[in-house]
Structure 1
Amino acid sequence: MKISGRALAQAALGGFLVYAGVSHLTVARQEFQAQVPSWFPADPDVVVLASGAVEIGLGAALLTAWHQPNRARVGMVAAAFFVAVFPGNIAQFTEHRDGFGLDTDTKRAVRLVFQPVLVGWALGATGAIGATRASLRREKPQT
């Protein structure tokens, strides 16, 4: 049985998310708190715990959703999650907060570039864009 590059990318992202989620709940809890914006109206520890649980769930879904349309749905949700947490990365930069070795503005700025990469990884590895387009074409009313 041959495993596609797309499937490997999906599994790698799933594993990454499970690892990151477990880290949220355990060894990197304080580090992740540096990414919670000071203006966000919730306890940073609660935000870190909740986002860790979401990451574990998304990672598990990516590791088990191998058929369309579920695969695309999981990819879209993962991409939306990466977009939703992006303000935390921006806050870490604008508030000059250290975390994960990001102890200079340059390092924090470089980190910002990688969030769109995660969005693209989620969409590309799951075929979300193509599957969504195909679904929309099938649902168009005939004229």
Structure 2
Amino acid sequence: MEEVNQTTELLGDFFLVGFASLEQYRFYFFVFFLIIYLLTLSGNTIIILVVWSNVRLHIPMYFFIANLSFLDLWLVSTTGPKLLSILLTNNKRISFQACFAQLYMFHSLAINECSFLAIMAFDRCVWPYIPLLDTPLS
């Protein structure tokens, strides 16, 4: 009898049971999180468009704010759609690969966002002594 490598069977799916005791409120949670998700997407998109369209805002601090908004769009989009699909369809399964990809993306984007915040804090701390270019590039 030939033995077969069964490592793929060991890496099964995860079952997410975050709202197990609140099943009767699943639809209300879906509507609430959908509204929050759409407000986050629209708010960050508006910030990016305002900074991009107004030449007077092309200074380093607004550049960092626009990049933070872009990172926040990605960060919310890594976890939000899966949460909404779980609440809507009640399918609480997530594969190991999808869970790993979501975890990797979430942590990478969170580290980048923290780095941008540290750079912005350093810029504000050093600004009185060594100001960056605070005039529009025109």
TM-score interval, smaller chain: 0.3 to 0.5
Q: Which has the higher contact order (CA 8 A, sep 6+)?
A: 2
Give the structure-2-normalised TM-score.
0.41
Structure ID, larger Rg: 2
